[in-house]
A and B are shown apart, each in its own frame.
Chain A
Amino acid sequence: DTGVSQNPRHKITKRGQNVTFRCDPISEHNRLYWYRQTLGQGPEFLTYFQNEAQLEKSRLLSDRFSAERPKGSFSTLEIQRTEQGDSAMYLCASSATGTGRGPLHFGNGTRLTVT
């Protein structure tokens, strides 16, 4: 068990550019979640996958955000036409379905800074 892996750890981009983040969940976990966290706040739910199916998206998720999990393993989160308000830590988490709605295992996150 190597834990949830996220890349890159840091990303600095200029406003208007597109960025893509990758998440590799714990291998036997088939649920994968994306959260966003800003300083001093709790993680904010963005979207969730069970295997390759995207089952839930937050109403707060702008059309500029898209997530995929094409083979039910790793996932990518893309942000198009980034804005300064997108600056945050993007956290990925995974969990196992066998335990029902069980604990989330978080990665170390990707810190995005939009200048």
Chain B
Amino acid sequence: GQQVMQIPQYQHVQEGEDFTTYCNSSTTLSNIQWYKQRPGGHPVFLIQLVKSGEVKKQKRLTFQFGEAKKNSSLHITATQTTDVGTYFCAGRGGGGADGLTFGKGTHLIIQP
């Protein structure tokens, strides 16, 4: 079945440094979504990418969907303490299955 892998599993950064997490799927995706989960909270939707090569920005966050629609990345510029949490990518396969497959997430830890 479809597998979604994320690296790194953990990332420690100093406040103000940049952060990137990478997501790779074993199969071609129809779309990919990104979620953020704060400690003790539930996943909260950030963005959805649909088109091959698509790039979207939300303030300091930049999301990219690969040309082959099998990988994606999230880049945060100049991290702030409010960015702490776990970032998940979640993909939908192109075969009609509707259940999103989540990666294991990247835990972002920020040192002030």
Contact = CB atoms under 8 A, between A and B. Distances in A.
A105 B45 contact: yes
A45 B42 contact: no
A21 interface: no
Interface residues of B, number: 26
A77 to B, nearest CB: 15
A59 B98 CA distance: 14
Interface of B: 1, 4, 6, 30-31, 33, 35, 41-45, 48, 88, 90, 92, 97-105, 107
Given A33-B100, A43-B102, A55-B98, 8 more contacts: A41-B104, A42-B88, A42-B90, A42-B105, A58-B99, A104-B43, A106-B42, A108-B41
Interface of A: 31, 33, 35, 40-45, 47-48, 55-56, 58-59, 91, 101-109
